[in-house]
């Protein structure tokens, strides 16, 4: 009977040691899980920041596109205006040549 009690005591100590190791393992798993969760939150935050930055880049590109369109329209208008001025200048030159020719003819 004494031997059975001793064996039971040893098994109880072994089980207590095993339970302690299991508790340590659970504590390690809990710490690792918290660490993974923290890192996952950092990744998600990074993705949100990147997404916001991409949205701002898209808005900027839209603004640049609008400016380019406006500049294109202004350049086209300036081109038309310059064409009109060129026609007027050519008409004036032609008129002055005719006046010069008439003046030379009178002399």
Nearest CA-CA partner of 29 in 17, 37, 41, 18 = 37
Q: What is the pLDDT of residue 105?
A: 85
Please name the residue that has the structure tokens 């990074």: 46
- Under the banding of pLDDT at 50, 70 and 90, the label for residue 41 is very high
Task: Note the helical H segments in the chain.
Answer: 2-106
Q: Which two tokens stand for residue 46?
A: 């990074």
Q: What is the pLDDT of residue 4?
A: 83
Please name the residue that has the structure tokens 């002399």: 107
Taking the C-alpha atoms of residue 50 and residue 57, their distance in angstroms, rounded to an integer, is: 10
- Averaged pLDDT for residues 53-68: 87
Taking the C-alpha atoms of residue 12 and residue 8, their distance in angstroms, rounded to an integer, is: 6
Please name the residue that has the structure tokens 């380019």: 68
- Averaged pLDDT for residues 15-39: 89
End-to-end CA distance of the chain: 155
Given a cut of 80, whether residue 103 has pLDDT beyond it is yes
Given a cut of 90, whether residue 43 has pLDDT beyond it is yes
Task: Count how many residues are written for the chain.
Answer: 107
């Amino acid at each position: 009977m004494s031997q059975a009690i001793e064996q039971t005591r040893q098994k109880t100590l072994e089980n207590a040691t095993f339970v302690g190791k299991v508790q340590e393992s659970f504590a390690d798993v809990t710490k690792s899980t918290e660490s993974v969760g923290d890192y996952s939150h950092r990744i998600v935050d990074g993705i949100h920041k990147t997404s916001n930055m991409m949205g701002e880049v898209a808005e900027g590109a839209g603004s640049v596109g609008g400016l380019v369109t406006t500049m294109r329209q202004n350049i086209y208008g300036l081109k038309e205006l310059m064409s009109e001025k060129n026609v007027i200048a050519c008409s004036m030159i032609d008129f002055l040549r005719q006046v010069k020719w008439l003046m030379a003819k009178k002399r």
